[in-house]
Structure 1
Amino acid sequence: MMNKPFRTVYTGGTGEITEKKSRFIANVAPVLTEDDALEFIEQLKKKYWDARHNCYAYVIGPKDEIQRCSDDGEPSKTAGRPILDVLLGEEIHNTVIVVTRYFGGTLLGTGGLVRAYQSAAKEGLSCSTIVEKLKGQRITVTTDYNGIGKIQYLISQLGITILDTEYTDIVKILILIPDDIYTEFIKKTTEATNGKAQVTEDGEVYFATISGQVEIF
């Protein structure tokens, strides 16, 4: 079974577009709870207190269990929903986007508003760092010195990340392994060491590779 990445914003950003002299400023942030999202929205409303509209959308949960959006005075479904559609279309989770509009004096019409808010949301995301988290396990493999070479070969062959290694009279290797190759690794480790290696689960995690470094969440 494939380990589908959990796409989310790692660090938020700010993007801006101009449409017929109206400024659309998109601010993006990662959030874990609805309270986090609401707090960020309030911060932006205070920061851009003189703007005509502060429209927003956010999605929270692995399956987007929480979805909210607001047009904040724009015509119905011309602002909040288009922003939400960008998040859902990009399959980005645990993220809030607030698009602030400074009115430029020219009406855009419903179609123009939808396009403007979607474009602003996409610009905000392009100015953010988006990561793909994978679900996995932290496990400790304990072996004697006869088995260490075989296990290290398996780890290298499968592209598994080593977090720590402890050498005493035995060897303990702490590794980070994606869920979709967990069963294969356990089976091959058992075969390679004739069942002598011991595997201890240290917990389920999400992880991502950011700038060449593995980050655990």
Structure 2
Amino acid sequence: MQDEYRTVARAGVHETEVNRSRFLCSLAPAATEQEAREFLASVRKEHADATHNCWAYVIGADAAVQKASDDGEPGGTAGVPMLQMLLRRDMRYVVAVVTRYYGGVKLGAGGLIRAYGGAVGEAIDSLGVLTRRRFRLATVTVDHQRAGKVHNDLLATGRQVRDVRYGEAVAIEIGLPEAEVAAFRAWLADATAGTAGLTLGDEAYGDA
């Protein structure tokens, strides 16, 4: 697994104009290829009257899935430059759709490549980026008497508390960078006089 990846901070639309053609870049996070396709379908429906709805998406922290479409523009002048911009910016789990409303002036292959790639780059700048880092999910099990203090200490030290479950004991699920597991285990033993348990789970990604 990658140690970290970048994705768009939020869904949104950024508009640019090149030689009277309007380029609307709709950008959104997408956890799966299905989500990316659903977003694409919604943009196509909203802009059914557009000249083109070109798209690209990258799914997977390692960019395992990369797809793009020129949607009727000359081959290689729209979808590929959009995809290349996403990859150049290290964007993952993201879908971009650039809707073009033709303004009457032909841009030529070079102009189209710059316009489509540039629309994606400007949209990324406008909407912002999140960095997600790899974490090991871990569950701290502690008695009710100590749970409140442990919970507060975790928050005070900037730990990601993902869930708290109350039963015979209190289970607090957190995210830990792999390199910090040993140090955290020692801190927990010290903070709870050795009474707390720590169970390591799967790996996941969280906001940096």
Note whether the superposition's TM-score is higher than 0.5.
yes
State TM-score, norm by structure 2: 0.79
Residue 59 of structure 1 contacts residue 93 of structure 1 at CA under 8 Å; is this kept in 2?
A: yes
Task: Name 1:33's counterpart in structure 2.
Answer: 32
Unaligned stretches of 5+ in structure 1?
210-217
Deviations 1:167-202, CA, capped at 9 Å, x for gaps: 999886554322331233224545777755421236
Structure 1 position 8 matched with structure 2 position 12: no
> What does residue 132 of structure 1 align with?
131
Residue of structure 2 in register with 1:206 after alignment: 205
- Residue 86 of structure 1 aligns with an amino acid whose one-letter code is M
Query: Structure 2: which 5+ runs fail to align?
Result: none
Contact 2:139 2:171 survives alignment (8 Å) = no
User: Which one-letter code corresponds to 2:51 in the other structure?
Assistant: R
**Letter of the 1:89 counterpart:** R
How far is 1:132 from its partner? Answer: 1.6
What is the one-letter code of the residue matched to 1:98?
V
Indicate if the aligned counterparts of 1:161 and 1:175 stay in contact, CA closer than 8 A: yes
Question: Which amino acid counterpart does residue 123 of structure 2 have in structure 1?
Answer: G
**Structure 1 residue 106: Cα displacement:** 1.3
How far is 1:161 from its partner?
A: 3.8
Distance 1:75 1:144, change over 3 A: closer
Equivalent in the alignment of 1:213: none
Amino acid in structure 2 at the alignment position of 1:130: V
Conserved? CA contact 1:58–1:97, under 8 Å: yes
| Residues 126-169 of structure 1, C-alpha deviations (whole Å, 9 max, x = no match) | 333532222222321537979x98x7898589643456789999
Distance 1:173 1:100, change over 3 A: closer
Partner of 2:54: 55
TM-score norm. by structure 1 comes to 0.76
Q: 1:59 to 1:156 in 2, by over 3 A?
A: closer
Aligned length: 206
Residue in 1 that maps onto 2:180: 181
- The residue number in structure 1 matching 2:108 is 109
What amino acid maps onto 2:67 in structure 1? R
Which secondary structure does the structure 2 equivalent of 1:81 belong to?
Answer: helix
Higher mean Cα deviation, 86-95 or 170-179?
170-179
Aligned-pair CA distance for 1:35: 2.3
Matched, 1:46 2:49: no
> Cα gap change, 1:175/1:45 in structure 2, threshold over 3 Å: closer, same or farther?
closer
Partner of 1:212: none
Q: Could you tell me how far apart the structure 2 residues matched to 1:94 and 1:156 are?
A: 28
Change (3 A) 1:118 1:188: same
CA distance in 1, matches of 2:36, 2:166: 46
SS across alignment from 1:62: coil
Residues in 1 aligned to 2:171 and 2:161: alpha-carbon distance in whole angstroms: 11
The amino acid across from 1:36 in the alignment is E
Does the 8 A contact of 2:140 with 2:196 survive in 1? no
Q: Give 1:104 shift.
A: 1.3
Alignment RMSD, CA only? 3.3
> 2:122 — aligned with what?
123
